[in-house]
Amino acid sequence: MAYELSDSVTIAAAPAEVFAVVSDVTRTGEWSAQCYRAEWNGAAATDPAARVVGATFTGYNRAPEREWSTVSEVVTSEADREFSWKVQSSGTVWGYRLEPVNRRDDATVLTEFTEFTPAGEAFFAEKFGAEAAAQEADRQETATYGITETLQNIKALFEG
């Protein structure tokens, strides 16, 4: 059950400002519906110049029934355009795309997206066995609502 999900919101802030926030994984707990903390790993933990494609970070997540952590690798970091990462265990990709509104520099369309790939299906089959399809469906529903909530929280950071 591979899938792609996304949602978008318009934010009254320049793409550069929005990118600076969403690419700072240490701030994720301020807006994420599930990830309450994230921290850079390795050199990226102390050197902002190392927070580039290939850098990794650990995200700490919680849902009502459990808590878990994942290690992710940055796969795209294009200033003011896109920041995305791949969860190493499942291959699931998450990220943000940014577009200026009508080529202006004071408003941004921010899109959050996720791609649950065949690699994720294989990971879930190995981890959950007969329950894999139910777990995937649950994660898809959680992501659908979580993306919208996350985007609204990011918008509120900029607009109050």
Domains of the chain, CATH where assigned: 3-159 (3.30.530.20)
**Partners of 35 in the beta sheet?**
61
pLDDT at 38: 98
In sequence order, what E strands does 81-121 have? 82-87, 93-100, 108-116
The pLDDT tens digits for 4-34 are 999 999 999 999 999 999 999 999 999 998 9
In this predicted structure, what is the pLDDT of residue 120? 74
Q: Does residue 126 surpass a pLDDT of 80?
A: no
Residue 46, classified by CB atoms within 10 Å of its CB into exposed (0-12), middle (13-18) or buried (19+), is: exposed
pLDDT, tens only, 43-102: 999 999 999 999 999 999 998 888 999 999 999 999 999 999 999 998 999 999 999 998
pLDDT band per the 50, 70, 90 thresholds, residue 2: confident
Residue given tokens 């850098």 in the structure block: 55
pTM flag (> 0.85): yes
> Going by C-beta distance under 8 Å and a sequence separation of 6 or more, which residues neighbour residue 4?
113, 114, 115, 116
What was the pLDDT predicted at 51? 96
